[in-house]
């Protein structure tokens, strides 16, 4: 069994949000994702989706996107992104999926999930320059990352985030220091597309290997980690 990751699926089976306005690479992207996923992922595998899962504004509006994901092979672990407006309390999200017969989707939030021989840890993250509450949000997300890593105990930890902890011209040191403290060697992140993706920082920084996993950066194919 294997663990895969992909970010920014931006599904919109019920929401009116065609992604091809962001470039021709996004034309029919849900079908590209389905095709590549089915070629790559097997039943029993695990796929982490690193945020920006669905354009739905509520759980109800995102239901067709959850059904789309549930029909694909493997177990799915969802991480919150900046466009996941449907995100609610974990208990409410789990209950909603169960009520709709979906049992192969889980949520990563203030905790960790063991898959194969690793602990899947992480949080949405944040970057400076979004708004006047940047420092407050970074502190809050750093706390969530630390709780996630602590919950994993002595397991080998891999971090998944939506926002990049490192980026052209800077880094969010709080996240990096927490990862260093807990012995994290790999971090996967999304959020960046098009010209921003071309400037993404990948490779080893401060002893941690960083990987960009936005769907368009992976040609809509989950990456085996």
Note the pLDDT of residue 20. 67
Q: Is the pLDDT of residue 193 over 90?
A: no
Cα gap 173→141, rounded to integer Å: 12
| Total domains in the fold of the chain | 1
| CATH classification of the domain holding 166 | 3.60.21.10
Q: pLDDT tens digits, residue range 39-48?
A: 999 999 999 9
Note the pLDDT of residue 195. 79
Hey, is 176 helix, strand or coil?
helix
* Mean pLDDT to the nearest integer, 7-14: 94
| Domain containing residue 205 | 3-224
DSSP summary character for residue 197: H
Note the pLDDT of residue 21. 62
87 in Cβ contact with 80 (< 8 Å): yes
Q: Mean pLDDT in the chain? A: 94
DSSP β-ladder status, 203-205 and 113-115: unpaired
Note the pLDDT of residue 210. 97
Q: pLDDT tens digits, residue range 125-175?
A: 998 877 778 999 999 999 999 999 999 999 999 999 999 999 887 889 999
The band of 114, judged by pLDDT with boundaries at 50, 70 and 90, is very high
Percent of the chain residues topping a pLDDT of 70: 98
Cα gap 69→63, rounded to integer Å: 10
Report the predicted TM-score, pTM, of the whole model to 2 decimal places.
0.95
215 in Cβ contact with 32 (< 8 Å): no
């Amino acid at each position: 069994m294997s663990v895969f990751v992909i970010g920014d699926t931006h599904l919109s089976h019920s929401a009116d949000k065609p992604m091809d306005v962001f470039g021709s690479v996004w034309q029919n992207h849900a079908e590209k994702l389905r095709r590549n996923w089915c070629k790559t992922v097997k039943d029993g595998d695990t796929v982490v989706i690193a945020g920006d899962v669905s354009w739905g504004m509520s759980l109800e509006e995102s239901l067709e996107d959850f059904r789309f994901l549930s029909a694909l092979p493997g177990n799915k672990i969802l991480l919150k992104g900046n466009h996941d407006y449907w995100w609610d309390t974990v208990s409410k999200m789990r209950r909603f999926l169960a009520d709709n017969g979906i049992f192969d989707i889980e949520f990563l939030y203030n905790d960790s999930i063991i898959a194969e021989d690793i602990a899947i840890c992480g949080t949405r993250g944040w970057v400076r320059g979004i708004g006047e509450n940047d420092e407050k949000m970074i502190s809050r997300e750093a706390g969530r990352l630390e709780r996630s890593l602590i919950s994993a105990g002595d397991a080998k930890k891999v971090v998944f985030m939506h926002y990049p902890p490192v980026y052209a011209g800077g880094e969010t040191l709080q996240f990096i220091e927490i990862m260093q403290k807990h012995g994290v060697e790999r971090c996967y992140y999304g959020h960046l597309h098009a010209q921003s993706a071309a400037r993404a920082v990948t490779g080893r920084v401060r002893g941690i290997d960083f990987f960009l996993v936005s769907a368009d950066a992976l040609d809509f194919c989950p990456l085996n980690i």
